[in-house]
Amino acid sequence: MAGVMNKLKKLDAYPKINEDFYRRTISGGIITLVSSVVMILLFFSELRLYLHAVAETKLVVDTSKGETLRINFDITFPALACSILSVDAMDVSGDEHLDVKHDIIKKRLDAHGNVIESRQDGIGAPKIEKPLQRHGGRLEHHETYCGSCYGAEVADDDCCNSCEDVREAYKKKGWGLSNPNLIDQCKREGFLQRIKDEEGEGCNIYGSLEVNKVAGNFHFAPGKSFQQSDAHVNDLLAFQKESYNISHKINRLAFGDYFPGVVNPLDSVQWIQEQPSGMGQYFIKVVPTVYIDVNGHTIQSNQFSVTEHFKGAEIGQLQSHPAVYFFYDLSPIKVTFTEQHVSFLHFLTNVCAIVGGVFTVSEMLDSFIYHGQKAIKKKVEIGKFS
């Protein structure tokens, strides 16, 4: 047994030094204190990384087909009234959504930005129950009332019982409504009076759009949109204004749901119109993103980058249509973030590396200082230090 013990003793890689041969110094004490603090800080930093999950990034080709893209927006137009502001969306597949009202809320704002009224999107007043006109003459008491569409009827039994109905019928025909005062429904609803009452107001419009997952655009503009000779036109004559200020602030713009770490570069961006007419344009590159948390919950979302541009009206050309356009295109590459915890073995390895590394560096520094002081002291004693 004694022989085995002696053999184990010879394997000792850490021979002990008798305390009589130790010499403690002030510099050694300072280095020990500093290295201990550094060691503790590095340990807690490593512990924090171990306790919190880290996201591993992977790039793959996006092979998804037939999916939709949800666009969430919150934009404030301080110089455009809600009654004249509309939103349209279209894409390269030919799908168009003109004057979108579904899932969109408008807040009327005064000149100081305070909310006057919040309502579901819709231009004009509520429908009048009994319009004065009927196709071909006056409405009799026993007849079912039916307002005229003023030449925009597709069938004989088509009815337009509100100013909005007439505008919709004109839009389908590709016509613009030039003078609402000539339309009985608009005159009775006070369409132009409502526009005048909201003069000087702003509008906060927010909501979401569900579009095809292909390249396209959506834009905010005054007037009601319609197609005329394969061209996209906004009916501005009805509002009887010469110019429109499209200054705006993007409170939030996101393509898809929020996920940890996402940065939306257009959030809180403000743009002030300096020219009398023009078009604000944002060119957006959307990158499909999948985020998988430590519990296996998957979030399908998107990141994006953006380039801004203003297109003004040039001399000798027609005025640019006042609008704020968001042109988006999708990247063929999908980014996948997978959240996971660092293994305990990896944590233990790093802790050992911290302790051993700091201890070794401290020992080298202490040895350098000690032998340097000793050499200087010796030269001073023999008078060779100058």
Characterize the bridge pairing of strands 333-340 and 278-292.
Answer: parallel
Query: What token pair was written down for 90?
Result: 């279209």
**304-355 pLDDT, tens digit each:** 999 998 876 554 444 557 889 999 999 999 999 998 877 788 888 988 998 8
Mean pLDDT of the chain: 79
Q: Which long-range contacts (CB under 8 A, 24 or more apart) does 231-235 make?
A: 232/88, 232/90, 233/174, 233/176, 234/86, 234/321, 234/323, 235/167, 235/170, 235/171, 235/176, 235/177
**67-99 pLDDT, tens digit each:** 899 999 999 999 888 888 889 899 998 888 877
Q: Where are the domains of the chain?
A: 60-339
Helices (H), 73-137: none
What's the rounded mean pLDDT across residues 152-181? Answer: 76
Please state, in angstroms and rounded to a whole number, the distance separating the CA atoms of residues 129 and 142. Answer: 15
Residue 35 has pLDDT above 80, yes or no: yes
**262-306 pLDDT, tens digit each:** 889 999 999 988 776 778 899 999 999 999 988 889 999 999 999
- Rg (the chain; Cα; Å): 37
